[in-house]
Amino acid sequence: MTRTYSLRRRLGLSLAIGVTAMWLAGALVAGLVARHELDEAFDSALQETAQRLLTLAVLDILDHEGDLSERRVAPLNAHEEFLTYLVRDQFGNVILRSHDADRSVFPAQPKIGFSDTATHRIYGEAAVNNTIFIEMAEPLAHRKEAAFEATLSLIVPLALILPFSFIGVWWLVRRSMLPVLDLGTQIEARDAGDLSPVSPDGLPDEVHPIAASVNQLMARLHKSLQAERNFAANSAHELRTPIAGAIAQTQRLLASVEDDEVRARVQTIEDTLQRLAHISAKLMQLARAEGGAVLAEAEHDLGPFLDAVVDEFHRTSGDGARIEYAPANAGLLISRMDGDAFGILMRNLIENALIHSPEGAVVKITATPHCVRVVNPGGIVEGGVLATLLKPFARGTGNAEGSGLGLAIAHAIAEAGGATLSLHSPAEGRADGFEARLDLK
Partner 1 sequence: MRILLIEDDRTLGGAIADQIAADGHAVDWAMLLEDAALSVKTAAYDLVLLDLMLPDGRGLDFLRTRRSAGDTTPVIILTARDQVSERIEGLNAGADDYLVKPFDLSELTARIAAVARRYAGNPNPLINLDGNEIDLAAHTVRRDGKKVDLTAREWRLLEALLQRPGAILSKAQLEEHLYNFDAEFESNTIEVHVSRLRKKLGRNIIETVRGVGYRVRGK
* Binding region for partner 1 (CB under 8 A): 233-234, 236-238, 240-249, 251-252, 255, 273-274, 277, 281, 284-285, 304-305, 308-309, 312, 315-317, 339-340, 342-344
Looking at the Cβ atoms of 117 and 230, the one nearer to partner 1 is 230
The residues, any chain, with a CB within 8 Å of residue 1's CB and separated by 6 or more, are none
Task: Determine contact, residues 386/425, Cβ cutoff 8 Å.
Answer: yes
CA distances from 212 to 20, 129, 195, 205 (A): 38, 91, 13, 11
- Our CB check for partner 1 shows the closer of 46 and 407 to be 407
State the DSSP code for 67. Answer: -
Nearer to partner 1 (CB atom), residue 173 or residue 289: 289
Minimum CB separation of residue 339 from partner 1 in Å reads 5
| Cβ proximity to partner 1, 39 vs 312, nearer residue | 312
Shortest Å distance, C-beta 375 to partner 1: 22
Chain centre distance of CA 226: 31
β partners of residue 364? 324, 375
Min separation Cβ 214 and partner 1, Å: 29
In angstroms, the CA 297 to CA 338 distance is: 8
Q: What minimum distance in Å lies between the beta carbon of 168 and partner 1?
A: 56
Residue 352 CB neighbour total at 10 angstroms: 25
Coil, strand or helix: which one is 87? strand
* Minimum distance, C-beta of residue 439 to partner 1, in the bound complex (Å): 20
Residue placing its CB nearer to partner 1 in the complex, 185 or 234: 234
| 130/274 with CB nearer partner 1 | 274
In this complex, which beta carbon is closest to partner 1, that of residue 210 or of residue 233? 233
Whichever of 85 and 313 has its CB closer to partner 1, that residue is: 313
Helices and strands (H and E) in the chain: how many: 8, 13
- Burial-class residue 350 by CB neighbours within 10 Å (0-12, 13-18, 19+): buried
Min CB(274)–partner 1 separation in Å: 8
Query: Is 69 within 8 Å of 121 (Cβ atoms)?
Result: no
| Cα torsion angle, 174, 175, 177, 181, sign | positive
User: Could you tell me the smallest distance in angstroms from the CB atom of residue 437 to partner 1?
Assistant: 21
Return the number of the residue (201 or 258) whose C-beta is nearest partner 1: 258
Q: Which residues contact 5 (CB under 8 A, 6 or more apart)?
A: none
The DSSP string of 364-433 is EEEEETTEEEEEE-SPPPPHHHHHHTTSTT---SSS----S-HHHHHHHHHHHTT-EEEEESSPTTSSS-
CB of 240 to partner 1, least distance (A): 4
Nearest CB to partner 1, comparing residues 19 and 243? 243
Cβ atoms of residues 135 and 88 within 8 Å: yes
Closest CA to 202 of 222, 176, 227: 176
CB 99 within 8 A of CB 80: no
**Least distance in angstroms from the C-beta of 197 to partner 1:** 24
Q: In angstroms, rounded to a whole number, what is the distance separating the alpha carbons of residues 350 and 402?
A: 12
Name the residue among 281, 282, 373 with its Cα closest to residue 326: 373
Kindly tell me which of 113 and 245 has the beta carbon lying closer to partner 1.
245
Opening angle at CA 219, ends 218 and 222, nearest 5: 85
Q: For partner 1, give the closer residue by CB, 175 or 315.
A: 315
Could you tell me the smallest distance in angstroms from the CB atom of residue 231 to partner 1?
12
Contact 375, 435 (CB under 8 A): yes
Smallest gap from Cβ 305 to partner 1, in A, equals 5
- Least distance from partner 1 to the Cβ atom of residue 319, Å: 13
Comparing CA positions, the residue from 293, 248, 303 lying closest to residue 416 is 293
